[in-house]
Amino acid sequence: MTVTSVNPAHPSEVIGTFEEATARDVDAAVRRAAAAQREWARVPVPARAERIAAVGAELERRKGELASLVAREAGKVLIEAGGDVQEAIDMAAFVAGQGRAAWGTVHPSELGDKLAFTTRQPVGVVGMITPWNFPIAIPSWKCFPALLAGNGMVLKPSEHAPACAAAFVEACIAGGIPGDLIQVVHGFAEPAQALTVHPGVRAVSFTGSVTTGRRVAAAAMETGPRLVSLELGGKNAMVVLEDADLELAVDGALFGAFGTAGQRCTSTSRLIAHPAVVDELVERITARAAALRLGDPTDPTTDVGPVITRESGERIASISGAPLRDIDGGTYVEPTVVRVDRDDRRACEELFGPVLSVLVAADVHDAVELVNSAEYGLSAAVYTRDINRALRAVAEIDTGIVYVNAPTIGAEIHLPFGGTKHTGNGYREAGTRGLEQFSETKTVYIDYSGRLQRAQIDNRSPVSGS
């Protein structure tokens, strides 16, 4: 059996064909990664970091060809495809810098002549299940911190973007990462399931839908214990108050809602506007959306590329009512702005397409309640010129990421990325916290007193009574 990757803009064009992995293949991959990991864990952390920096340089050299591949396989327009690769380059630079940063903390001991500190140790082999919509960036978010922490890994990419994953791993090996340390298995449910429950896999990192993420977490913990990190969906809202810069808000809504054809977990899916500005906003956004050019993502004049599959387009259209277009065999969803009631499913469900649902909120407090009403808690934005109201909203919004006067997307790799509620399970990717899902804390005590000292008992002299 094979996995065939096609160009979503031209489905008759085959990008690549890859062997579909079985459970036995996954077992062999885990064993190879585990053997390589034992050697890799002995490499000093700064030396690991130097290899990761070399991978970043290799990605930089290949940026043009990788961006073209992302555009062809994932359907992202060229400027966004280049950004996908640039995120990986930047992540390599950041993680490499962490190779000479603090690896733990030193604490005072309650006893004399005793040191107390923490350090981090690798978990062993990490299973990684990644989506198609950021086919270079998201593997880098997972692989580089895991490598720095001293782990081996088995990567199971989306069946819609296997060629991008293979190209990413090729760049890692060309940059000096040992070949057996990063294993790739392609396929559908079988290799993902086998990877999740394999006894040699000590951590699982998953990015994808809530439904699948729950199954992954349940299976991993049933046969665990394992570290399980989840980055799931979003129903991200942009709040526009009556004093906002409307032109800036319109620009943000266009980029946030319709970039990547709305196929981002951070896409702006809801516009929550004050009654005084909602009509003008809808009119402006609708007019601008109608002027966006749909077409082949490798054409520099294209604004919006295809959705990943025909089935995806039909699902989006059936829920939202957005028109579908067929261009050279590719499926396109027309960027759509629709007013909805608060209990409308379009205001609640993640559509993963270029559809912006518009709601009205009486004031900032009502708007925050609407933001928080979603089951997801990934990203939110507030547009206002009033810094006091902006900061109150930031404090009250229940999401992992909040923007002020900027759209809901655009994470920077040196800051933590992740969400609350059904969006995730508390871990964060990127930033200095990115290492947490791929390493475990070890507490170390060194007693150099030369005598027995007993902590956690009453070491103080008795207090005499009066």
- Residue 348 among the catalytic residues: no
The angle at the Cα of 338, spanning 347 to 325, to the nearest 5 degrees, equals 110
Tell me which of 20, 265, 334, 436 is the catalytic residue: 265
CB 261 within 8 Å of CB 307? yes
CA distance 240 to 250: 10
- Residue 334 among the catalytic residues: no
Long-range contacts of 290-296 (CB under 8 A, 24+ apart): 290/335, 292/254, 292/258, 292/335, 294/325, 294/327, 294/332, 294/334, 295/9, 295/327, 296/9, 296/10, 296/327, 296/328, 296/330
Q: Which of 434, 439, 433 is nearest to 150 (CA)?
A: 439
CB 259 within 8 Å of CB 267? yes
Phi, psi (degrees; rounded to nearest 5) at 452: -70, 125
Tokens representing residue 443 in the block: 């507490």
Tell me which of 231, 334, 429, 436 is the catalytic residue: 231
Catalytic residues: 231, 265
